Amino acid sequence: MTPISKTLRKEALFLSHKCQDGNLQSVFSCLDVVWTLYDRIMNWSPETAQDDDRDFFIISKGQATLALYPVLIEKGMFSMDEIAPEIGQFKSRYCIQTDLTKFSGGIENNAGSLGHGLPFAVGIANANLIKKSPSQVYVLCGDGEFCEGTMWESCIFASAKKLDNLCVIIDDNDSVGAMVDMGSFHAKLTAFGFDVFEVNGHDMEETEKALRELRGMKNGKPKALIAHTVRGYGSPTMTEHDIWFHKAPNEAELEMLVKEVDAF
Amino acid sequence: METIRYTGGKPEKEVFQVIGETLRGLFESDSRVVYLDADLMSSLKTQNLWKEYPENVFNTGIQEANMVGTACGMYLNGFKPYVHSFTPFASRRVFDQLFISGAYARKSIRVIGSDAGIMATHNGGTHMCFEDVAMMRTIPDVCIVDVSDPTMCGAFLKLTKDRPGVTYIRTPRRDLPDIYMPDACFEVGKGKVLRDGSDVTLFACGIMVSTCLEAAELLRADGISARVVDAVTVAPLDEELVLRCAEETRALVVAENANIHGGLGSAVCELLSAKRPTRVIQVAVEEQFGRVGIERDLRRYYGLTAENVVEKAKEAIKTKI
């Protein structure tokens, strides 16, 4: 793993430890994609975080909020010194699901109720189209989240409105496979009128290349990136044991997991 | 009066354990009982049931609305469905399916909504649902159970197995104290008097029942005799019991871990304003969304504390009509 991948994971571990909550498997699976977006793709910076024409990042899989904070810390939007002491505390702005109402800039949506982020992103993209804004909309969804009906309803509308300024990223960590057989995302989304690319979501070069190419395809079709990822990627313990879907590390576990990330 | 075993300490079994064990018992005794979950089996710790009873347990994936529709279809074809999700997704998100495919189509379905009200704690506003009781109360012939103790949760899962219509069981998953004896008997539409008193009635449901027991003890220190009642089912409401309490104590505090509009407090006021005007003060969530915190902080923030119940009880006594 690259040094930044390790840094981000260790920050997520620390935040989860501080607030004694979190969905770390899900956080670790999407961290590399979220970083790639903010670092290499999006027209976004802390200074332009409230500009009309900024690119939007919508976190539809809200349980991965602890992936977003480390990225925004490394980008200079938030500081660890501010988040760590208060995360999860009563009246804190920071919890394991983002709360738009407590921020002016940096956080674009309330996350946690699944099947909400994609419709919201479609609305932003449709508005961008009407306003002739160059702003692009990136929305991070879980593979399991695609069981919700609203996800497919949004896909119909996005395609009908020719929203080629929308890029749906599926963090395909095979959560859904444990419950139902979804078949091929690629075939389904293609049938819904999307341009679909697939990448290894832990390979930043490959992810960047695909996102750049999709961004350039102004052909009236919404975009989808299927990022093949691994739950808990970066920690063998977390990958192996599903209890880490929703568990916070205690002091000893934190130390053990940090070591695993360092050695990965 | 009910014999109780409330001490305020840790329960013998957490609610999620009781739910798991009760479902297992139901599968064993009736092969037509089915339990559907929308990807929250790990939260309810029912994954083992899924493995052991593949013909009784179904994980639909994260699709609550379809889960409810499917459950209704299974009822039509001879099954007895129980569905589970967190309260906002088990009520607000699927309300149309519950209302049309369920209640209106005369299906029998039981909905377990976990993490009721403030008990969503760290998951915060998107998971904290106060409006479910008000919404559910508008469904004709609904049964709403706001669980106050683990024994009660298991009992209602069993006794509503063949109940027609929509049954909604809202409950925390853990940290609910034992109140009832293991062999306590429950009935739909029957409240329980847990402590007798003559100056005021503390009429409660869900997590506020134990809070009112604490409040009654505080009031006793001030020389006030408070009756404590568990509504048990918010709907149907035990009207006879409400009227008797109004008659005998002439002041009520109604306490609930839900929105002040449309819940137990509203139900009591609707009844009393029609049949026996009585002083009622509500302890409930007023004009607020959910937010993040631990139970203790959230209780203080929303006023769901014994101290607030005490204050409201004194005010109700002072302003009796």
Element containing residue B280 per DSSP (H, E):
strand B279-285
Label residue A100 by pLDDT band (50, 70, 90).
Answer: confident
Which CATH architecture is the domain B192-318 placed in? Answer: 3-Layer(aba) Sandwich (3.40)
Label residue A111 by pLDDT band (50, 70, 90).
Answer: confident
Would you list the DSSP string of B129-155? -SSHHHHHHTSTT-EEEE--SHHHHHH
Radius of gyration of chain B from Cα atoms?
A: 19
Asked if A144 lies within 8 A of B66 by C-beta distance, the reply is no
CATH number assigned to the domain covering B15-171: 3.40.50.970
Mutating which of B292, B294, B299 best tests the A interface, going by the most A Cβ atoms within 10 A?
Answer: B292
Q: Is B60 on the interface with A (CB under 8 A)?
A: yes
Residues near B267 by beta carbon (within 8 Å), at least 6 away in sequence: B137, B234, B235, B237
Does residue A264 contact residue A8 with C-beta atoms inside 8 Å? no
Q: Is A222 on the interface with B (CB under 8 A)?
A: no
Nearest CB partner across the interface for A96, out of B64, B122, B294? B122
Asked if A62 lies within 8 A of B126 by C-beta distance, the reply is yes
Label residue A89 by pLDDT band (50, 70, 90).
Answer: confident
- Say whether pLDDT at A69 is over 90: yes
CATH 3.40.50.970 domain position(s) in chain B = 15-171
More confident residue, A95 or B201: B201
| Rounded CA separation B45/B48 (Å) | 8
Nearest CB partner across the interface for A90, out of B60, B93, B294? B294
At residue A136, the pLDDT reads 97
Instruction: Give me the residues of chain B with pLDDT under 50, please.
Output: none
- Predicted confidence (pLDDT) per residue in A191-244, tens digit: 999 999 999 999 999 999 999 999 999 999 999 999 999 999 999 999 999 999
Residues of A in contact with B93 (CB under 8 A): 113
CB atoms within 10 A of CB A6: 16
- For residue A223, the number of C-alpha atoms closer than 13 Å in the C-beta half-sphere is 25
CATH 3.40.50.920 domain position(s) in chain B = 192-318
Residues near B178 by beta carbon (within 8 Å), at least 6 away in sequence: B5, B6, B7, B11, B12, B149, B150, B151
| Rounded CA separation B257/B209 (Å) | 10
| Rounded CA separation B299/B291 (Å) | 11
Two structure tokens written together for A165: 């300024």
At residue A90, the pLDDT reads 85
At residue B201, the pLDDT reads 98
Identify the sign of the CA torsion A117, A120, A125, A131. negative
At residue B142, the pLDDT reads 98
Label residue A10 by pLDDT band (50, 70, 90).
Answer: very high
Nearest CB partner across the interface for B124, out of A112, A115, A179? A112
At residue B163, the pLDDT reads 98
At residue A91, the pLDDT reads 80
Asked if B61 lies within 8 A of A90 by C-beta distance, the reply is no
Radius of gyration of chain A from Cα atoms?
A: 17
- Predicted confidence (pLDDT) per residue in A147-159, tens digit: 999 999 999 999 9
In angstroms, the Cα distances linking A42 to A19, A64, A107, A227, B37 are 29, 19, 15, 17, 37
| Rounded CA separation A212/A221 (Å) | 15
Asked if A113 lies within 8 A of B59 by C-beta distance, the reply is no
Nearest CA-CA distance, residue A109 and chain B, Å? 11
Two structure tokens written together for A124: 């932003």
Nearest CB partner across the interface for B59, out of A91, A142, A179? A179
Nearest to A100 by CA among A110, A91, A92: A110
Mutating which of A60, A93, A113 best tests the B interface, going by the most B Cβ atoms within 10 A?
Answer: A113
Nearest CA-CA distance, residue B151 and chain A, Å? 27
Would you list the DSSP string of B202-256? EEE-TTHHHHHHHHHHHHHHTT--EEEEE-SEEES--HHHHHHHHHHHSEEEEEE
Nearest CB partner across the interface for A245, out of B42, B122, B292? B42
At residue B124, the pLDDT reads 86
The domain made up of A3-263 has a fold known as Rossmann fold (3.40.50)
At residue A42, the pLDDT reads 98
| Rounded CA separation B240/B261 (Å) | 22
| Rounded CA separation B87/B275 (Å) | 32
- Say whether pLDDT at A102 is over 90: no
| Rounded CA separation A136/A215 (Å) | 8
Domain boundaries, given as residue ranges, for chain A: 3-263
| Rounded CA separation B295/B275 (Å) | 37
Asked if B124 lies within 8 A of A246 by C-beta distance, the reply is no
Average pLDDT for A166-184: 94
At residue B172, the pLDDT reads 98
Q: Is B61 on the interface with A (CB under 8 A)?
A: yes
For residue B258, the one-letter residue type is A
- Say whether pLDDT at A88 is over 90: no
Q: How many CB pairs under 8 A join A and B?
A: 80
Residues of A in contact with B124 (CB under 8 A): 95-97, 99, 112
Strand ranges (DSSP E) for A116-219? 137-142, 166-172, 195-200
Nearest CB partner across the interface for B62, out of A112, A114, A246? A114
At residue B71, the pLDDT reads 96
Q: Is B31 on the interface with A (CB under 8 A)?
A: no
Q: Which stretches of B32-143 are DSSP H helices?
A: 41-44, 47-52, 64-76, 87-90, 95-96, 132-137
Residues near A81 by beta carbon (within 8 Å), at least 6 away in sequence: none
> What is the distance in angstroms between the CA of the first residue and the CA of the last residue of chain B?
27
Residue B237 gets the label, from left (phi > 0), alpha (psi -120 to 50) or beta, of beta
Looking at every residue in chain A, the average pLDDT score rounds to 95
Nearest CB partner across the interface for A179, out of B61, B293, B294? B61
Residues of A in contact with B123 (CB under 8 A): 95-97, 112
Q: Is A115 on the interface with B (CB under 8 A)?
A: yes
At residue A239, the pLDDT reads 96
At residue B151, the pLDDT reads 98
Two structure tokens written together for B194: 């847990």
| ipTM attached to this prediction | 0.81
Q: Is B3 on the interface with A (CB under 8 A)?
A: no
